[in-house]
């Protein structure tokens, strides 16, 4: 009995201690500062709890029931403490949100007002005009179309009808559908606007455009719209120099730049267009085998450019030149192509004519050379009256650019064959 009485006494003491601890915590919670958290006494701490229980177990090995009860009380107290802390944190978060909501409303209102006032300033886009009208005003031909015809008959040229995509205008659409322009995009867009303007100017302007692009290549060399313009500038330099080695260097670098642009943006019509142009330029210095290979590449990327930008008359003009040249391939060139690639390129004068007519339909008076090739096609088809008609149209366009002067030479030769 003595042992059982001691056991009851221990239980009573422990229950009283637990009740005292509970009342202490309730009192502490009421009087503590609002932002204070409940920190358990050291002996109630997680790390010390097992030490405390271990000591009790050493002292009261026979009192397993008592220690189990006490352990549960400690767990309850710990959970209550965690709940109180969570409630205090929730109160602080609610207070913060109440303070932040007016500022958020003001921010949203300012942003919506800025979006309503924003206007999109796209890069200036040169409109192609008839050369006769431009010459009458005494202005340089801003819509020049420089070209070169390869020994194998594959044609390339410059264009001034490149379109501008949303990405080219430097616009970035955020997840919240808010239109913003980053500082880097703004600088790049301004640079490209300046480059486009210089490209349509004099020889010195084109050289300046080329130098600007080279200076900014390290910073913007990972933008497709920068790289295809660099390829175009290499094409300008190719046309302006007479040194063969320099021509080879310019066209090689131009092809690399256009190829990188395609890798960055396979949906860029201009990147495919200028890659095709570089392939045509390279054929001037290649063997017959490489000329034919570049001819296939030229057609592949030209077709892709037309698919992506079907509204550009220059691309149909280029396609007409390719069709005309292929239709005039010699027997040996067709045999070499068949041996190397299985199937030689094929086209007809009729296909060439349709492309030239398409370019003229989309942009009447687009090119002096387009008129010359229309006359050539009709001559090949035996339609002399139509051939003379387009010769007259070509004569009405003054020779302003180097391409115009080349077209004039071809026109004079063609007229000799049409006159009785």
Residue/partner pairs of 373-380 with CB below 8 Å, 24 or more apart? 373/320, 373/321, 373/324, 375/411, 375/414, 375/418, 376/324, 376/410, 376/414, 377/324, 377/349, 377/352, 377/353, 378/353, 379/414, 379/417, 379/418, 380/349
Closest CA to 270 of 262, 281, 282, 278: 262
In a shared domain, residues 271 and 217: yes
In a domain, 268, yes or no: yes
Q: How far, in Å, CA of 92 to CA of 341, rounded?
A: 75
pLDDT band at residue 100 using 50, 70 and 90 as cut-offs: low
Q: What is the mean pLDDT of residues 89-110?
A: 65
In a shared domain, residues 297 and 200: yes
Q: Which two tokens stand for residue 219?
A: 């910073």
In a shared domain, residues 249 and 280: yes
Contact present, 236 and 242 (Cβ < 8 Å): no
Q: How far, in Å, CA of 205 to CA of 189, rounded?
A: 18
Domain encompassing residue 207: 187-309
pLDDT, tens only, 337-355:
788 777 778 899 999 999 9
Q: How far, in Å, CA of 325 to CA of 323, rounded?
A: 6
pLDDT at 99: 66
Q: What is the mean pLDDT of residues 102-127?
A: 52
In a shared domain, residues 272 and 379: no
Contact present, 388 and 419 (Cβ < 8 Å): no
Q: Please state the φ and ψ torsions of residue 383, each to the nearest 5 degrees.
A: -100, 80
pLDDT at 339: 81
Among the candidates 309, 339, 360, a domain finishes at: 309
Cβ neighbors of 71 (< 8 A, separation 6 or more) are 53
Whole-prediction pTM value?
0.57
- Alpha helices, DSSP H only, in 223-268? 224-240, 244-264
In a shared domain, residues 266 and 323: no
pLDDT at 140: 40
Contact present, 388 and 418 (Cβ < 8 Å): yes
In a shared domain, residues 196 and 263: yes
In a domain, 159, yes or no: no
Q: Please state the φ and ψ torsions of residue 156, each to the nearest 5 degrees.
A: -135, 165
Closest CA to 56 of 100, 92, 10: 10
3-state secondary structure 98-130: HHHHHHHHHHHHHHHHHHHHCCCCCCCCCCCCC
Q: How many helices (H) and strands (E) does the chain have?
A: 17, 4
In a domain, 154, yes or no: no
Cβ neighbors of 347 (< 8 A, separation 6 or more) are 322, 323, 324, 326, 327
In a shared domain, residues 204 and 304: yes
Among the candidates 276, 309, 342, a domain finishes at: 309
Q: How many domains does the chain have?
A: 2
pLDDT at 149: 39
Q: Which residues pair with 172 in a beta bridge?
A: 180
Q: What is the CATH number of the domain that holds 404?
A: 1.25.40
pLDDT at 136: 46
pLDDT at 62: 47
Q: What is the CATH number of the domain that holds 254?
A: 1.25.40.10
Among the candidates 249, 283, 309, a domain finishes at: 309
Percent of the chain with pLDDT over 70: 61
Contact present, 225 and 268 (Cβ < 8 Å): yes
pLDDT, tens only, 250-267:
999 999 999 999 999 999
Question: At residue 414, does pLDDT exceed 60?
Answer: yes
Q: What is the mean pLDDT of residues 126-146?
A: 42
In a shared domain, residues 243 and 322: no
Q: How far, in Å, CA of 125 to CA of 160, rounded?
A: 9
Mean of the per-residue pLDDT values of the chain: 74
Helix (H, G, I), strand (E, B) or coil at 222: coil
Cβ neighbors of 348 (< 8 A, separation 6 or more) are 323, 327
In a shared domain, residues 236 and 331: no
Top mean pLDDT of 58-72, 103-117, 141-155, 225-239 is at: 225-239
Question: At residue 201, does pLDDT exceed 60?
Answer: yes
Closest CA to 7 of 73, 78, 62: 62
In a domain, 381, yes or no: yes
């Amino acid at each position: 009995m003595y042992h059982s009485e001691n056991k009851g006494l221990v239980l009573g003491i422990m229950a009283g201690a637990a009740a005292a601890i509970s009342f202490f915590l309730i009192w502490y919670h009421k009087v503590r500062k609002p932002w204070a958290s409940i920190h358990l006494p050291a002996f109630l701490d997680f790390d010390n709890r097992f030490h405390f229980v271990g000591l009790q177990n050493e002292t009261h090995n026979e009192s397993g029931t008592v220690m189990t009860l006490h352990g549960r009380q400690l767990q309850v107290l710990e959970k209550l403490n965690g709940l109180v802390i969570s409630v205090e944190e929730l109160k602080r978060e609610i207070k913060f949100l109440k303070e932040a909501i007016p500022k958020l409303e003001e921010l949203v209102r300012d942003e919506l007002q800025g979006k309503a006032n924003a206007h999109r300033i796209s890069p200036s886009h040169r409109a192609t005009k008839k050369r006769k009208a431009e010459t009458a005003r005494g202005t340089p031909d801003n819509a020049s179309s420089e070209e070169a015809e390869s020994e194998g008959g594959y044609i390339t040229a410059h264009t001034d009808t490149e379109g501008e995509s949303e990405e080219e205008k430097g616009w970035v659409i955020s997840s919240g559908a808010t239109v913003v322009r980053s500082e880097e995009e703004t600088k790049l867009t301004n640079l490209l606007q300046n480059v486009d303007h210089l490209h349509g100017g004099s020889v010195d302007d084109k050289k300046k455009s080329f130098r600007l692009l080279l200076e900014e290549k390290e910073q913007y060399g990972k933008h497709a719209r920068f790289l295809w313009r660099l390829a175009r500038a290499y094409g300008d330099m190719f046309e302006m120099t007479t040194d063969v080695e320099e021509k080879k260097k310019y066209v090689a670098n131009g092809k690399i730049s256009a190829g990188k642009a395609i890798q960055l943006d396979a949906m860029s019509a201009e990147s495919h267009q200028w890659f095709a142009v570089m392939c045509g330029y390279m054929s001037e210095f290649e063997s017959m085998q490489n000329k034919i290979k570049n001819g296939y590449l030229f057609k592949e990327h030209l077709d892709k450019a037309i698919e992506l930008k079907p509204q550009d008359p220059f691309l149909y003009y280029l396609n007409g030149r390719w069709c005309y040249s292929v239709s005039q391939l010699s027997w040996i060139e067709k045999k070499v192509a068949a041996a190397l690639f299985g199937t030689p390129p094929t086209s007809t004068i009729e296909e060439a004519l349709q492309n030239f007519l398409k370019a003229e339909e989309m942009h009447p008076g687009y090119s002096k050379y387009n008129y010359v090739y229309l006359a050539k096609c009709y001559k090949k088809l035996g339609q002399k009256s139509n051939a003379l008609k387009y010769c007259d149209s070509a004569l009405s366009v003054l020779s302003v650019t180097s391409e115009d002067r080349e077209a004039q030479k071809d026109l004079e030769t063609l007229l000799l064959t049409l006159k009785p």
